[in-house]
Amino acid sequence: MNDPRPIDPGFEARVRASFAKQGLMETLGASIARVSPGEVDLALPMTPAVSQQHGFMHAGAVASIADSAAGYAALTLMPTGAGVLTAEFKINLLAPAMGDRIVARGRVVKAGRTLTLAQSDVFAEREGQEKLIALLTATLMTIEGRAGVDD
């Protein structure tokens, strides 16, 4: 997306506050690595708690941080008082998720008033090297005027 402009000047604080309320991200051990207009990076360290039977990070954990990175990227461009919900996503798992940590880089492709298209590129990091392991495309819906959206 070219030169995204946030409507809400407090978008970064709002993203961070919302992320702090996500029980799943806390359970997984994910954290925000970067927030900028139309972009959010989330990081997840490789631990036994998020592994699957072969020692790779579980695809469910990879999909969760990829979805959240895309959703929070969309939220950076939404108005004050709005929230975001994923309407659908598709993920392509390109390689096993193994490394020191996984980073999902969410970015807005096209922001609309009601629907936003975003993508997350997911990388495995090991010893300073990155490998692309997944691509997620998501359609996200702006929600307003609902209890709990702007708490």
For the segment 114-125, what is each residue's pLDDT rounded down to a tens digit?
999 999 999 999
Q: Is the pLDDT of residue 2 over 60?
A: no
pLDDT digits (tens, 9 = 90+) for 55-97: 999 999 999 999 999 999 999 999 999 999 999 999 999 999 9
In the predicted structure, residue 14 carries a pLDDT above the cut 80: yes
Q: Which long-range contacts (CB under 8 A, 24 or more apart) does 11-19 make?
A: 11/35, 11/37, 11/75, 11/76, 11/77, 12/76, 14/75, 14/80, 15/40, 15/72, 15/75, 15/76, 18/72, 18/75, 18/83, 19/68, 19/72
Topology of the domain covering 11-143: Thiol Ester Dehydrase; Chain A (3.10.129)
How many CB atoms are located within 10 Å of the residue 26 CB? 12
